[in-house]
Amino acid sequence: MNNLLTRITQTPGQCGGCPCIRGMRIRVSDILEMLAENVSITEILEDFPDLESEDIQACLLFATRSIGKITSRRIDCRN
């Protein structure tokens, strides 16, 4: 599962340093926003033919891990 995270890249000067998919100018946040707006994975893959289904999974895993880190920091700060 951690291999999925290798699909997420952050490059200074590209998309403002935001996490992107495999060095492309497709931000993780763009994919997450589309999913939140009920755009299906099939539709996303049709609209972005360079993407693979594993890229979508990587975005979801990245978001989950990121939220976990934020939550951990908040809990540590309160103790």
Q: Cα torsion for 45, 50, 55, 59, to the nearest 10°?
A: -80
Tokens of 46: 């049709």
Q: Write the pLDDT tens digit of every residue in 35-70.
A: 999 999 999 999 999 999 999 999 999 999 988 766
Q: Write the pLDDT tens digit of every residue in 9-37.
A: 999 999 999 999 999 999 999 999 999 99
> What is the spatial distance between Cα 61 and Cα 55, in angstroms, rounded to a whole number?
10
Q: How far is CA 58 from CA 23, 41, 77, in A?
A: 13, 13, 29
Is 2-78 CATH 1.10.357.10? no
User: What does pTM read for this prediction?
Assistant: 0.81
Domain borders along the chain are 2-78
